[in-house]
Amino acid sequence: MILNERESRHEQVLRVARQMMTAARTAPKAKGVDIIETITVTEEELKLLADKMNQIAEAEDRKSFARDAGNVLQSECVVLIGTRELPLGLNCGYCGSATCAARTEGVPCAINSVDVGIAIGSACATAADLRVDTRVMYSAGLAAQRLGWMEGCRTLLAILVSASSKSPFFDRKV
């Protein structure tokens, strides 16, 4: 048997994406409460995501969204990691309110956001261990949120994934 890497690359990247989602799931979470959600977007959905990002760029004069949309189209897949909102009763004050009960509706729980960050770091470390290029983007996460892909997730970030001879996420045009 002869196995050509170019013919099996996409399949391999999808295996890595699955491992990234598992890494996000098993990452430490505040009080051990799991409110993390993950999905992987491929093929036609990448185009939908890029189109939404371009719409945001135009409608809201956010040029970086158009640049980032180009990177989405260069990706093999995008791993989305979000958190459902659930104040954990720690009364930490990091959201700006003295207690969880006093938190203004719509203001994200800071600890939930930290949990997303830890999950993102764990997923990216997994990709790095497997020598796959990634780029974390809030812009793609916001576009996915507006597309309704992860309903109920307050904080949503995207990890673009690529396995090519040179990372498309490195020399980006401003």
Q: How far apart are the C-alpha atoms of 113 and 53, rounded to whole Å?
A: 22
Q: Where are the domains of the chain?
A: 10-162
pLDDT of 15 reads 97
Q: pLDDT of the chain along its 174 residues, tens only?
A: 888 888 889 999 999 999 999 999 999 999 999 999 999 999 999 999 999 999 999 999 999 999 999 999 999 999 999 999 889 999 999 999 999 999 988 888 999 999 999 999 999 999 999 999 999 999 999 999 999 999 999 899 999 999 988 888 877 776
Each as own residue / partner, the long-range contacts of residues 49-53 (CB below 8 Å, 24 or more positions apart, any chain) are 49/78, 49/140, 49/143, 49/144, 49/147, 52/143, 52/144, 52/146, 52/147, 53/139, 53/140, 53/143
Query: What size, in residues, is the chain?
Result: 174
Q: Which CATH superfamily is domain 10-162 in?
A: NADH Oxidase (3.40.109.10)
pLDDT of 94 reads 94
pLDDT of 5 reads 85
C-alpha distances in angstroms, 45 versus 27, 36, 60, 77, 154? Answer: 26, 21, 22, 9, 21
Q: What is the CB neighbour count within 10 angstroms for residue 144?
A: 27
pLDDT of 174 reads 63
